[in-house]
Amino acid sequence: MIFDYETLRCIWWGFLGLLLIGFAVSGGYDLGVGVLLPYLGKTDDERRVIINASAPTWEGNQVWLITAGGALFAAWPIAYAVAFSSLYVALFLTLFALWLRPLGFDYRSKMPNQQWRDYWDKALFIGGFVPALIFGVAFGNLLKGIPFHLESDMRMSYLGDFWGLLNLFSLIAGVVSLFMLTMHGAVFLQLKTEGAIQERAKKAVVLATSVTLAAFALAGLWVTRLEGYHVTSVIHENGVSNPLAKFVKRGEGLWLDNYQHIPALWAIPVLVFVAGGLTIWLSKKDQPGWAFISSASAIAGIILTAAVSMFPFLIPSNISLNSSLTIWDASSSHKTLQIMFWATVIFLPMVLLYTRWVFKVLRGKVTVQQIQQQPYHFY
């Protein structure tokens, strides 16, 4: 065995975070483009330009989300079961919205009828808006805790409902998610378009980034007063997975514990504000390539801020504290994590190389003139 059980659990926590960041950075700008479609595209040709900017790559970008779900299922099956049971309605709405995206991309321009195209434009907007919002709402509820408890045989009971997920703090987290992906989509459109669309995208970058940073700051201040979670019993990092073999307490400000023990971690939320400011500055300086990197850094910082705050918790329970799931007591077996590790070491670089190759091949801009030369049944 190259890695012990504790190390593999930490590695897979890192892999899960990497996959979520990979989706937010790659698939995130696709969602942001969908949100911006009805606002930046004033004519049918302009909307076709916006759609053609992201349509060739959106399917490949979904690999990150699918892989993240698969990794959660394989590495922490109990957490997967709790998440998909307690957040079932929200995740179903997300899935339904994501279904609209391939339909919108494939069918929008099959007919020249403007009403037909307007319907699919609305579908693409919903397909970007709903997932971007719900992903943030889900993270907000994780920070507040999910109302579930585990029986001794690991049967899970969920005592909440969909409307309970729409609390004020989680909606603020949803605003952070929605506007950070909109920011990323606006930077992407500034990079891939010209003329009027590019100018509108620059203004959208400033607005979306400003709202993102303001909402992130508000959520951060709220977290200082929010009840967090802390394991009070001995943690057996190499022990057999059993979520009920620990004691957990809840108290105001406990989500800041990791930052207090390791002050260097404060660099992560600081990175969000620095990268956000750079995104606005670089966008105004007509440097969308660098702005894309800085907006991606801001997104990574936001996700890592939440992850570091919650570590080692995956899904805390706010009605049965000891049922809370951590990376130490909800994971698969040592052997399973080891096999998955080597599979990831082999295939993840392939995904990264493929993604780099696709972006290199499709690095050119999309213009109205190019769109007008295409038959109506293309994007």
User: What residues are paired with 252 via a beta bridge?
Assistant: 227
- The torsion defined by the Cα of 19, 25, 27 and 28, in degrees rounded to 10, comes to 120
pLDDT at 144: 93
240: Cβ contacts below 8 Å, ≥ 6 apart: none
* Mean of pLDDT values over 266-285: 96
| Single pTM value for the model | 0.92
Q: What is the residue-averaged pLDDT of the chain?
A: 90
pLDDT at 363: 72
pLDDT at 326: 94
Condensed to tens digits (0 to 9), the pLDDT of residues 4-15 reads 899 999 999 999
* Mean of pLDDT values over 149-163: 87
pLDDT at 354: 80
pLDDT at 371: 66
pLDDT tier for residue 351 given thresholds of 50, 70 and 90 = confident
* C-alpha span between 379 and 369 (Å, rounded): 14
Condensed to tens digits (0 to 9), the pLDDT of residues 83-102 reads 988 888 888 999 999 999 88
Domains and CATH numbers, the chain: 5-372 (1.20.1630.10)
Q: How many CB atoms lie within 10 A of CB 231?
A: 18
